[in-house]
Chains A and B, each alone.
Chain A
């Protein structure tokens, strides 16, 4: 029977990677002087599973490597081996090695043989073995196969009385023998007790078997392998006359068979296919969730047929029924939508899990003492958002490790505990997921940031900036105040790429810091990439969508509160703030109902700590919209983050507040300079 084993590979890889994570987590928390029994068992079992699976599915290099690893772990859990700190690090390196091997196997790429062999040798050394090249264990078996020269075997088989209690049955063994031999049996009932003492669960019989076969003794013994300790077994050869010819031909057959075995083994080793990595994106879903979805779709179908029926038997008096049906449709659709979105949600722990190892390795490298705290790991977010936030998170944590937390001596001198703390926290807030990365390090040095910014021309001399604005400068392109750009957190391209990646996800990042005390980086992300809560607005004949999350308030303007600055820039005085007014009709070059500020409305929006008021003609409905990409068939448009299809089938643009603010500034600069020019003229 040939079964396609590759169908199980996906699950094997998934569970193996999970197993490696368990190993890593446990190893990081392990007290090598006194490892807990359950912890060591967990690590052992994970390695054991990987070994078993890789063996069954034919990934032999992985099997061999894991075997050595498993042996070491077995000795530790049996109390035969005392772990050292270096050995724990070696085990962690082995986990990395296995990860690479599994990835290579999954993506069908090359493995780094040298590295694998060297790590394996280290493991062997730890076991007290001499490092050696892979042995050809299978060879030893081959040579023993050539022992059949007789024509049969005489077997005396006396099972112990309790043989049935292990579920064994002599009959089955005889059936097995029949597969390759002709048997004649002679039963021995000497040990049968009198009827009234007969215990049905005991075996009192024994047999003399005569086998006519040309297989060797090992083959025969194999049949009785399971019951070796539960019987008395004697096997004697029956001599026969064989012509030399038959002996020779048998020898030739055996040699050919051995060669075949060796060749297939070699073929397996050279069989390495290199291809593009096939990272199929999949997600594990609880079957309950799927069943719930199926039910909801069922209800949707019922509602649909009910509405369809109404369409056929149209009766204006039944308009109530129609409305009811439509309400139900809305309910069904909303429920379905919520539940489908839920399926893509995964806890952020998947992303947080890489940090214990990262902090452990990096703090060693930097000779700093750092403790990592994680909270809110069960906070859920969209799978794709989580995948994309991974790198930015790593960069921010590395940044805290590298530039935030001080050296132990400096910390003590500053009256702080020697061990610095980095705290990652995730929680839901107002339809978003918020991730805080907090450290109790040195905080941002505002003076240095400001001077660097002036040096780079990002900020002009004498310009007054709030503390918030100074801190936000670190996200500017080409900015890095590290005297020596360390290769830990990279060059100045880091922070601005982080900001851009987060921005691309529809999120925002900001930093709060206190010199000497520490910093908090806060990332805000939408819970999903596909849908947006939006406010529809109208400017002239155009309808736009403003993301609800960026709207602070909307109001009707009073002309006394509007002021004009330096020519064209208009601001609105709202309580203590001056909000710059952005005329959408001007930025977008479209018609509007009226250019008089009194006639329209001001929608005050905020992005990245800056507020701006959008001047619009009308506020329309608030609704959830599906985000459609403009870039798929066109390209990125300034001021617009995407598009959506409204209920009437027409397309509406979704505004990108941050981009609008940039556009506005560009135009303000343009106007200012032209104003200055005309003034000068």
Chain B
């Protein structure tokens, strides 16, 4: 089954996302911030990346920028977790190479529906 790299500095969000995705049969790699995610990304090949934007050490947008530089992440779907009000965040994300976004707050169904869009 497909593997998702889930990045969020909030433990409760990571748990919820991980639980939901695993329950639907996905494998999940968890990371607590951009640096952690980049390290884990180099040693794996997930089918999609789901990342929060506001994180310490390296934020989500920088993470996406860095990931796109890696050879096997050129076309990997990467989704940002954004809040409705941050219009320019979506733009910045797209410029960095993000595929799309998932708006917070989201429920498990929305999460799965969105992931299904980008992973076979």
Contacts and interface: CB of A to CB of B under 8 A. Distances in A.
Nearest to B78: A167
A12 interface: yes
A106 B67 CA distance: 38
Given A1-B24, A167-B118, A176-B117, A57 B75 contact: no
Given A1-B24, A165-B97, A172-B118, A45 B76 contact: no
A134 to B, nearest CB: 16
Interface in B49-85: 52, 54-56, 68, 74-78, 81, 83, 85
A51 B75 contact: no
B16 interface: yes
Interface string A387-425: 000000000000000000000000000000000000000
Contact of B75 (A9, A176, A201): A201
A164 B118 CA distance: 12
A165 B77 CA distance: 9
Contacts of B107: 56
A428 B118 CA distance: 56
Contacts, number: 101
Interface in B1-38: 9-13, 15-16, 19-20, 23-24
A521 to B, nearest CB: 38
Given A11-B15, A164-B75, A167-B78, A226 B108 contact: no
A180 to B, nearest CB: 13
Contacts of B42: none
Give the secondary structure class of B's interface: mixed
Interface string A33-50: 000000001101100110
Contact of A1 (B74, B83, B94, B108): B108
B81 A52 contact: yes
A166 B100 CA distance: 8
A133 interface: no
Contacts of B85: 67, 71
Contacts of A67: 85
A5 interface: yes
Give the secondary structure class of A's interface: helix
B12 A226 contact: no
A54 B12 CA distance: 10
Interface residues of B, number: 40
A490 interface: no
B76 to A, nearest CB: 6
Interface in A20-78: 41-42, 44-45, 48-49, 51-57, 63, 67, 71
A53 B100 contact: no
Nearest to A16: B12
Interface residues of A, number: 38
Contacts of A514: none
A52 B83 contact: yes
A633 to B, nearest CB: 42
A389 B99 CA distance: 53
A15 interface: yes
B54 A48 contact: yes
A403 to B, nearest CB: 42
A3 B94 CA distance: 31
Contacts of B101: 226
Nearest to B112: A1
Contacts of A3: 16, 19-20, 23, 108
A274 B7 CA distance: 35
A41 B99 CA distance: 26
11 contacts: A8-B16, A11-B15, A42-B56, A52-B52, A53-B10, A57-B16, A71-B85, A165-B75, A167-B76, A167-B78, A226-B100
Interface of B: 9-13, 15-16, 19-20, 23-24, 52, 54-56, 68, 74-78, 81, 83, 85, 91, 94, 97-101, 104-109, 112, 117-118
